[in-house]
């Protein structure tokens, strides 16, 4: 079994999480050790398939917070626009979308994922950083060889700026979730052949 990884400060932990490899967050709050008197938590990781725990601590400020109800409602009611060649349409969470079914059929795929790298942790980010992250996400999708189109998330009431997305065909739910987690997204949209989009939350309590 893999030995527990010893990290000594927040910088080391942040550096680790930005590196590619076999590391990923395990966002299961039931697995967290109770905080000590200083308010710090031990954080579990997966390393090469094994669950481990830090023997050092991650300060509470780096824990993903419970998602506010306002964000949940905004995500659930947003308009998810898809700009596939010759097939522009809007999908909604929990509602069958015939255009989405047609898109999957046209490319011989049975899943659709709508992903973005904009505004990590649902906090408005710097525009240049957002664009750089979105391009990095596209490059990761390209490595997987999946058909990909541009899209756009927009609030149901039209308030606020639209958020660019990548609409990706053929990814498994786990592949899409790994990408969303890597780019610090609270959730992403996923649909199987039923063409009824759902929100998949990546690493937070509801």
* 98 and 114 inside one domain: yes
101 and 149 housed in the same domain: yes
> Please, which pLDDT band fits residue 26 given cuts at 50, 70 and 90?
very low
Q: Do 28 and 79 sit in the same domain of this protein? A: no
What pLDDT score was predicted for residue 61? 33
Write the pLDDT tens digit of every residue in 156-192: 887 777 999 999 999 999 999 999 999 999 999 999 9
Same domain? For 117 and 138 the reply is yes
- The C-alpha atoms of residue 167 and residue 189 are separated, in whole angstroms, by 9
- Per-residue pLDDT tens over the stretch 77-99: 999 999 999 999 999 999 999 99
* Contact status, residue 22 vs residue 47, Cβ threshold 8 Å: yes
Query: In the predicted model, what is the mean pLDDT of the chain?
Result: 77
Reported as type and span, the H/E element at residue 77 is: helix 69-77
> For the chain, how big is the Rg over CA atoms in Å?
18
Q: Please give the Cα distance from 76 to 68 (Å, whole number).
A: 13
Residue 1 lies in a domain: no
Of 26, 47, 62, the last residue of a domain is: 62
- Pairing outcome for strands 23-25 and 44-47: antiparallel
Higher pLDDT among residues 72 and 113, named by residue:
113
Residue 189 and residue 162 in one domain: yes
Same-domain check for residues 84 and 53: no
139 and 37 co-located in one domain: no
Q: Are residues 140 and 58 in the same domain?
A: no
pLDDT (tens digit per residue) in 110-164: 999 999 999 998 888 899 999 999 999 999 999 999 999 999 999 988 777 799 9
| Three-state secondary structure call for residue 86 | coil
Residue 91 in domain: yes
Confidence tier at 204 by pLDDT (50, 70, 90): low
* 52 and 92 fall within a common domain: no
The three-class DSSP label of residue 195 is: coil
Task: Report the alpha-carbon distance of residue 44 to residue 63 in Å, rounded.
Answer: 12
How far separated are the first and last CA of the chain, in Å rounded?
33
Range of the domain at 191: 69-201
Domain assignment of residue 3, yes or no: no
Count of structural domains within the chain: 2
Contact 84, 149 (CB under 8 A): yes
Q: Give the torsion through C-alpha atoms of 62, 66, 69, 70, to 10 deg.
A: 0
CA distance 38 to 55: 15
Per-residue pLDDT of 49-62, as tens digits, reads: 444 444 333 333 33
Give ∠ CA 133-168-65 in degrees, rounded to 5: 50
């Amino acid at each position: 079994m893999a030995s527990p990884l010893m990290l000594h400060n927040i910088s080391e932990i942040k550096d680790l999480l930005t590196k590619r490899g076999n590391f990923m967050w395990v966002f299961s709050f039931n697995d967290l050790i109770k905080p000590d008197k200083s308010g710090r938590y031990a954080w579990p990781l997966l390393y090469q398939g094994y669950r481990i725990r830090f023997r050092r601590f991650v300060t509470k400020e780096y824990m993903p917070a419970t998602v506010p109800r306002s964000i949940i409602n905004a995500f659930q009611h947003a308009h998810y626009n898809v700009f596939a060649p010759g097939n522009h349409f809007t999908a909604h969470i929990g509602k069958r979308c015939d255009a989405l079914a047609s898109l999957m059929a046209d490319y011989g795929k049975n899943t659709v994922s709508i992903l973005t790298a904009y505004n990590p942790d649902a906090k408005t980010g710097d525009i240049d950083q957002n664009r750089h992250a979105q391009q990095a996400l596209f490059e990761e999708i390209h490595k997987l060889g999946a058909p990909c189109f541009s899209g756009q998330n927009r609030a149901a009431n039209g308030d606020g700026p639209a958020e660019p997305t990548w609409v990706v065909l053929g990814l498994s739910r786990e592949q899409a979730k790994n990408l969303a987690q890597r780019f610090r997204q609270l959730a992403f949209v996923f649909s199987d052949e039923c063409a009824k989009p759902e929100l998949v939350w990546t690493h937070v309590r509801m």
